[in-house]
Amino acid sequence: MLPYRGGMRRVTDERIDIEILDTTLRDGAQGEGISFSVQDKLAAVRALDELGISWIEAGNPGSNPKDMEFFRLAGSLSLKRARLCAFGSTRKKGITPGEDPFLKTLLDASTEGAVIFGKSWDLHVTEVLGVSLEENLAMIAETVAFLKDRGRLVIYDAEHYFDGWTANPEYALKTLEAAFEAGADRIVLCDTNGGNFPDTIAEGVKAALPFGWVGIHAHNDADMASACSIAAVRAGCRHLQGTLLGFGERCGNAALASIIPSLELKLNLRCLPPGNLERLTEASRKVAEIANVLASDNMPYIGAHAFSHKAGMHADGILKMRHSFEHIDPRLVGNDRHFLMSEIGGRAAIAERARKIDPSITKDHPVTEALATQLKTLEAEGWQFEGADGSFELLVRRELGKYKPLFKIDAYRVVSEHPGGDGISCCYAWAKVWVDGQQEIAAAEGQGPVNALDRALRKALNPFFYNFDLDKVRLSDYKVRVIDGKDATAAKVRVLIESTDGVHTWSTIGVSEDIIDASRAALVDSIEYKLISVIERRFKGLF
């Protein structure tokens, strides 16, 4: 059970060594391009709770009505483990905490915890706040005591602690002492500007250890937030703050999805309830979907490329001995190993991918040789399957004789109007499809030609596949690459699209001299891959 000073907490027999506070919904929301609706925030809280996060810093109720509305609705959430906290600052200068309207909104949020930030760098005290050093200490102590007297668990964020400790260590430590003596339950050391190195972080943490339960809050401005967070934990921190995917102010926050598995798997420090680490990849992708961002493919542990292997030597080594080219088993974090298909990938990688469809396939199987030959031929023509796992699986199924086309496009047309009615540009598409001898024609309007064609295709197919969730499928990424620029506007193009149904993600490819037709090929593969995946899950072995 976690030590807890000042109040009751739920009883648990789970051993947690490092308490995690996720600030995706507060500090993460300060990242450029990030905007959460109230419903987004509620959905994110559920996902983080399911993962097993200890604390969720869900917003600043004094900053906007939306956060206050969230906290009103959040009271009805039935959370399994996570506890919510609201964020605010120490009292304003010249008034008492009871007179501060922002502290009142913090109490009105009715959360179990309150996160309060105060100044630890004397530069900020005198030049930014414009108060004396003694007044700042009083602001910290009085605010913490005020919230403790009203039953809140108080997490004190010592803003700019490491810069302040470097410039004036005596005063920086006095600010921690003021919060600690007033009853703060956690003292969190913030590398607010994100420019410190791990050795400085470790030394600063050691200096703060006399002040109770110490935590770390690192920013990534020098690309060291993860390293600094781990250095802080090794120096004695037992509370860790960050955002799940690392987005946040400026260059972002410490990425919990990278740090948690490092602590659990490398340092044997439990951060999540037993068995929950396997949910990390799914939870990360769910939060990315809610935030309407793409989780970086290169993100450690949970990224799509984290366990991808392209070189034939690497693929062969992995198949013989997993740890020859992987530092952990991807299943430990809920991720998958991927063998990227290319002319340099080797037959071992091709066979491994093909075995997912037919377990009897070996490195020396004739199908493996045929696929290797096809890959070389197709890549010479401009196809590239290393980023198109969906299209490659369909290619394997065709070669194995385990492919049955589920629909056929008889004809399609795309029309763009610039400008259209009312001076607004618009695109229209219609498609005629055949499914089991039956014909369906549908038309749709879109924000671009590919969007219009995508909508028309799915509209035509929905009567036949109405229970396959095609309405949930959307394009999450679209890329066009000219294969050979010497032909100018007549050049062949490669279209790669990434599709998602909100749970799974897959990529497909199309190549043509016509960008719309290349898009059509990639869209058809995307839809077929989705349909086949659903059929395989429901009726194993049909394909």
For residue 253, tell me if it sits in a domain. yes
3-state secondary structure of 403: coil
Which of 291, 319, 353 terminates a domain? The answer is 291
- CA 446-519-488 angle, 5° bins: 110
* Domain region containing 420: 408-538
For residue 401, tell me if it sits in a domain. no
* CA nearest to 333, candidates 283, 267, 270, 389: 283
As for how many domains the chain has, the answer is 3
Backbone angles phi, psi at 323, to 5 degrees: -75, 5
Angle formed by the axes of helices 389-400 and 347-355, to 10°? 80
User: Rounded to an integer, what distance in angstroms lies between the CA atom of residue 11 and that of residue 355?
Assistant: 46
User: Rounded to an integer, what distance in angstroms lies between the CA atom of residue 222 and that of residue 520?
Assistant: 43
* Residue 88, pLDDT score: 96
Residues 279 and 320 in one domain: no
Residues 213 and 343 in one domain: no
Residues 127 and 242 in one domain: yes
DSSP state letters, 149-188: HTT-EEEEEEETHHHHHHH-HHHHHHHHHHHHHTT-SEEE
* Count of CA atoms in the C-beta half-sphere (13 A) of 447: 1
Kindly list the strands in the beta sheet with 408-417, ordered across the sheet, starting from the edge strand earlier in the chain: 408-417, 426-435, 438-446
For residue 143, tell me if it sits in a domain. yes
* Residue 21, pLDDT score: 98
User: Rounded to an integer, what distance in angstroms lies between the CA atom of residue 44 and that of residue 41?
Assistant: 5
Residues 471 and 416 in one domain: yes
For residue 398, tell me if it sits in a domain. no
* Residue 543, pLDDT score: 53
**192-205 pLDDT tens trace:** 999 999 999 999 99
Model pTM above 0.75: no
Residues 366 and 464 in one domain: no
pLDDT < 50: residue spans in the chain: 1-13, 343
For residue 522, tell me if it sits in a domain. yes
The residues facing 191 across adjacent strands are 218
Residues 263 and 312 in one domain: no
Helices (H), 271-423: 280-291, 312-320, 347-355, 366-380, 389-400
435 alpha carbon, distance to own chain's centre: 38
Which of 240, 258, 291 terminates a domain? The answer is 291
CB neighbour list of residue 518: distance below 8 Å, 6 or more residues apart = 480, 493, 494, 495, 510, 511, 512
* Residue 443, pLDDT score: 95
Residues 440 and 523 in one domain: yes
3-state secondary structure of 62: coil
Residues 124 and 227 in one domain: yes
For residue 2, tell me if it sits in a domain. no
* Residue 322, pLDDT score: 60
For residue 441, tell me if it sits in a domain. yes
3-state secondary structure of 416: strand
Residues 65 and 125 in one domain: yes
Task: To the nearest 10°, report the CA torsion of 397, 400, 401, 403.
Answer: -10
* CA nearest to 23, candidates 6, 7, 36: 36
Residues 270 and 352 in one domain: no
Residues 326 and 424 in one domain: no
CATH, residue 430: 3.30.160.270
Q: State the burial class of residue 98 (Cβ atoms within 10 Å of its Cβ: 0-12, 13-18, 19+).
A: exposed
Which of 341, 363, 380 terminates a domain? The answer is 380
* Residue 168, pLDDT score: 98
DSSP state letters, 260-279: HHIIIIIS----S-TTGGGG
For residue 280, tell me if it sits in a domain. yes
3-state secondary structure of 11: coil
Residues 162 and 63 in one domain: yes
